[in-house]
Structure 1
Amino acid sequence: MAALCVAAAFGPAEAREYRYSDAHLHFVDFFQESDGIDKLIEAMDKGRIDHVMISGIPVAKKWHENEPKRPRYYAGDDAPVYWYSATDVVIAAAVKELDEEQRKRFHPFLSGFNPNDKNADAHIRRMLELDPGLWQGLGEVFTRHDDVTALTEGDTPRANNEALARVYHLAAEFDLPVMLHSNITSKRERNPLYLAELEEPLRNHPHTRFIWAHAGTSMEIHRHQEQLDFLLPTVTRLLNDYPNLYIDLSWTMLRPYLLDKDGKPNRDWVALVEKYPERFMIGTDVVGRFDNLASGIRDFVPFLDALPEAVARKVARDNFLDVLPRHGAHPR
């Protein structure tokens, strides 16, 4: 009888059909290669994805002279990665080849700049002026990022450095959201070791909208620490304190946070999203390959189904559109 009650309670949710926005998608991989825009559109249509945040990868992996075989991923060997501005040229070219109707579905974020360089804001301004109206956000900006941080040539980026402060001012000037990758902690520290690096810009730049990529988590952190007990209370406090903060619930948030090991929704995270229904969005975080795009976005369905339907539809699709520049027309 209890099983029948549970089935009845979840019956209406199971019948929902969602349309999606993918709020975190990289058109290229760490070698700046891609399946291409046609395959991306095909995958979007298959997954009922109406809109995507489309960005490059701000670093490129070096194939070192001493390596006989090209690595398959940035962590494939010890060769470094380096800042790669041409990633934005690739994004712009892909979007510009689309017809007007398809182009409305794509929301390019500019990412190809060095966040340690105080010239970065000048470079971004030039890019914005070269293609007026093309860019709808900045990011994903890499700061604390697992082994990418260790492999990146040059200084370690921090979300609260002076170079990025200049970028945040520019983002507010152009009304652009900033997607920021800033790990909340390291692989070994069971405390919010790097939280101050995120919180300082949230506090100092109240007119800039920040999208926190997968709430500061990563697969590498999970591999070493599994679940961060302090994450939920920390995100709760930040959302209360900073109305300019939005949370990207991309793939590393699915487990062990949004869903348990049996695939059931985490009621505490459901309650938090219900409390802040306009501050969360979902994304796949794919990198240049789109075969799993549709299945990746559908992985969020059990969590969405646990939300009130109106909230679920905001999280699935509309919240991402609402964070984009207010002067732009974003068709629904």
Structure 2
Amino acid sequence: MRVPGLVMAAAIGLCVLQAQARDYRYSDAHLHYVDFFQESAGMDVLLKRMDAAGVDHVMFSGIPVAKKWDENEPKRPRYYAGDDANAYWYSATDTLIAHAYKQVPAEQRHRFHPFLSGFNPNDKNADAHIRRMLELDPGLWQGIGEVFTRHDDLTALIHGDAPRANNEALARVYHLAAEYDLPVMVHSNITSKRERNPLYLQEIEDPLRNHPHVRFIWAHAGTSMEIHRHQEKLDFLLSNLERMLETYPNLYIDLSWTMLRPYLLDADGKPDPAWVHLVSSYPARFMLGSDVVGRFDSMGEYMHGFAPFLDALPEKVAKQVARDNFLAVLPRTVQAELKTRTAP
């Protein structure tokens, strides 16, 4: 049942007044340790930025593709969209993640949650590759992703066919994820830059329906900054999320920084009542992410940018969204280990 606008606005105002003294601890549910050239500022910098930002835990992943510096390009690109050169699937990204994780001091490792991402989602051998990686480092990997499927212009730059979240190769990966109790983060745009309708929605709904035992994290709810540049705000997003969260109990939403505006906060920086109501209605299903890529100086800015929206939520819900919901989707063995660390 929808709450009338005036009542909702009054409730938000009361929550904000009550929230002035809140102090949040965070889990960054969407972090790439390396960039599109498989380079990183390094673990020392990351740990310093986490401590400065109040980030207790991070989803720790690579980038599943590498951007090519093409023979015909006079300058090395700085980003995948920097020129017309292709990108290609890069499995060694997971080797870099495992190596970096093992360099972390033992007393800090519980803060890092490595996710496997270095595989081609169009290849029906992908599940066999993932299984090998899991067996090479038993207990190291705690999730799968970010899996790149529909991903703005990057989709067109990657060699081969456009990946889909509902293809046969990924179905095999999802079965493996269920076997190992691993959450899966999927980047699957809800639409293209030009279509003002949920063009690709079925591609994420199919796995949600067909794999009910897999916990899916939908990266920034199918939106992207590139889509927003062309369409600003998707007016069909909220209603579809309401329906999907009700229909699929295995759906979790990553509210990365690209969701902050134009959805969670309005042009004046005030929380949107409809989104406050949605998150409050599903308090265990949303989490925050910086989506930083290889460089970490902006982590604090991105994570703390959610504070006005968090302040509009009931305090218990706000703390769940800020920190605890990400931890709750990790494998049950990991959750048990984390509880032992906080037990008296």
Residue 11 of structure 1 deviates from its aligned partner by 3.0
Q: Equivalences for 1:26-65 in 2 at 5 Å?
A: 26-65=32-71
Q: Is the 8 A contact 2:15 2:311 kept in 1?
A: no
Q: Which amino acid aligns with 1:17?
A: D
Bigger drift between 208-217 and 291-300 goes to 291-300
Q: Distance in 2 between matches of 1:12 and 1:28?
A: 39
Q: Distance in 2 between matches of 1:287 and 1:10?
A: 32
Residue 233 of structure 1 aligns to a residue whose secondary structure is: helix
Cα offsets for 1:149-193 (capped at 9, x unmatched) = 010111110000000000000000000000000000000111100
Bigger drift between 121-130 and 94-103 goes to 94-103
Q: Distance in 2 between matches of 1:75 and 1:8?
A: 44
Residue 143 of structure 1 deviates from its aligned partner by 0.1
- 1:7–1:100 CA distance, 2 compared to 1 (3 A): same
Cα offsets for 1:70-114 (capped at 9, x unmatched) = 011000000000000000001000000112211010000000000
**Residue 213 (structure 1) aligned with residue 219 (structure 2):** yes
- 1:8–1:166 CA distance, 2 compared to 1 (3 A): closer
Q: Distance in 1 between matches of 2:230 and 2:39?
A: 30
Q: 2:139 aligns with which of 133, 136, 161?
A: 133
Q: 1:78 aligns with which of 81, 84, 96?
A: 84
Q: 1:181 aligns with which of 182, 187, 194?
A: 187
Q: Distance in 1 between matches of 2:276 and 2:107?
A: 35
Runs of 4+ in 1 over 3 A off after TM superposition: 5-9
Cα offsets for 1:192-235 (capped at 9, x unmatched) = 00000000000000001100000000001000000001000001
- 1:266–1:133 CA distance, 2 compared to 1 (3 A): same
Q: 2:328 aligns with which of 317, 322, 331?
A: 322
Partner of 2:6: none
Q: Distance in 2 between matches of 1:27 and 1:123?
A: 21
Residue 6 of structure 1 deviates from its aligned partner by 9.4
**Residue 103 (structure 1) aligned with residue 109 (structure 2):** yes
Q: 2:231 aligns with which of 225, 228, 232?
A: 225
Q: Distance in 1 between matches of 2:12 and 2:173?
A: 50
Q: Is the 8 A contact 2:310 2:318 kept in 1?
A: yes
Partner of 2:203: 197
Q: Which amino acid aligns with 2:239?
A: P
Q: Is the 8 A contact 2:266 2:272 kept in 1?
A: yes
Q: Distance in 2 between matches of 1:322 and 1:220?
A: 30
Q: Distance in 1 between matches of 2:318 and 2:225?
A: 25
Partner of 1:278: 284
Q: Which amino acid aligns with 2:212?
A: P
Residue 12 of structure 1 deviates from its aligned partner by 2.6
Q: 2:166 aligns with which of 140, 156, 160?
A: 160
Q: CA RMSD in A?
A: 1.3
Question: Identity rate of aligned residues, in percent?
Answer: 75
Q: Distance in 2 between matches of 1:323 and 1:182?
A: 19
Partner of 1:17: 23
Residue 121 of structure 1 aligns to a residue whose secondary structure is: helix
Cα offsets for 1:5-61 (capped at 9, x unmatched) = 998763331210000000000000000000000100000000000000010000000
Residue 295 of structure 1 deviates from its aligned partner by 1.2
